[in-house]
């Protein structure tokens, strides 16, 4: 894959996450009432909620005048860090690039909601007995999966460039 190809891969993955995220949120907001719940499995519901805060409702009690600029700044800093990381990542490390695309797409998907509504639409609710995970959406899933992939690669792949050099020798 070429240098330009790695940016295309990140961009395509991010675009897919953004489109799926926005389409699912649009579907939920147009077909469900706020706080309505539809049970899909005994451990999973669709529940339409709006989260004014970040993960686990962090900063939810702050005003929108604080939250929107704050989360926009966080996005700009995170987006810059992702761009820098992608620039440093060899094109051969496709899983890292896909993970970056997942994180970037999720961040943009939730930023769209924050700018448009001042809060994020969440709808996926996983639970077991009386234990509930906070409601989430496709963007949150992209961020979570991307971060997990990056962490696992950091733990289990010590020096990929050295392994590539040895394999080529």
**What does the angle CA 68 – CA 73 – CA 74 come to, to the nearest 5 degrees?**
100
Per cent of the chain over pLDDT 90 is 63
**Entry pTM:** 0.84
Instruction: Quote the tokens at residue 3.
Output: 């240098």
Average pLDDT over residues 51-79: 74
Instruction: Please name every residue paired with 128 in a beta bridge, in sequence order, or none if there are none.
Output: 131
Domain containing 8: what range? 3-154
Least confident residue range of 12-16, 61-65, 92-96: 61-65
Please check whether residue 169 lies inside any domain of the structure.
Answer: no
Number of domains into which the chain is organized: 1
| Catalytic positions, written as ranges | 122, 140
Please check whether residue 108 lies inside any domain of the structure.
Answer: yes
Please check whether residue 149 lies inside any domain of the structure.
Answer: yes
Cα–Cα dist 9/106, whole Å: 15
Cα–Cα dist 103/154, whole Å: 16
| pLDDT range class, residue 73, cuts 50, 70, 90 | confident
Q: Average pLDDT, whole number, for the chain? A: 88
How many C-beta atoms surround the C-beta of residue 121 within 10 A? 24
Query: pLDDT for 23-42, tens place per residue?
Result: 999 999 999 999 999 999 99
Instruction: Quote the tokens at residue 80.
Output: 């810059």
Please check whether residue 65 lies inside any domain of the structure.
Answer: yes
Please check whether residue 112 lies inside any domain of the structure.
Answer: yes
């Amino acid at each position: 894959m070429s240098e330009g190809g790695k940016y295309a891969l990140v961009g395509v993955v991010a675009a897919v996450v953004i489109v799926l995220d926005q389409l699912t949120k649009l579907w939920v907001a147009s077909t469900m009432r706020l706080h309505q719940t539809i049970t899909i499995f005994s451990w999973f519901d669709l529940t339409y909620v709006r989260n004014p805060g970040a993960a686990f409702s962090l900063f939810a009690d702050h005003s929108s005048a604080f939250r929107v600029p704050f989360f926009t700044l966080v996005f700009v800093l995170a987006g810059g860090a992702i761009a820098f990381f992608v620039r440093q990542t060899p094109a051969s490390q496709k899983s890292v690039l896909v993970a970056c695309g997942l994180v970037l797409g999720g961040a943009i998907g939730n930023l769209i909601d924050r700018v448009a509504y001042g809060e994020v639409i969440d709808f996926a609710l996983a639970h077991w007995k009386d234990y509930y995970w906070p409601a989430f959406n496709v963007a949150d899933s992209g961020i979570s999966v991307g971060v997990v992939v990056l962490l696992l690669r950091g733990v289990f792949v010590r020096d990929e460039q050295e392994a590539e050099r040895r394999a080529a020798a």
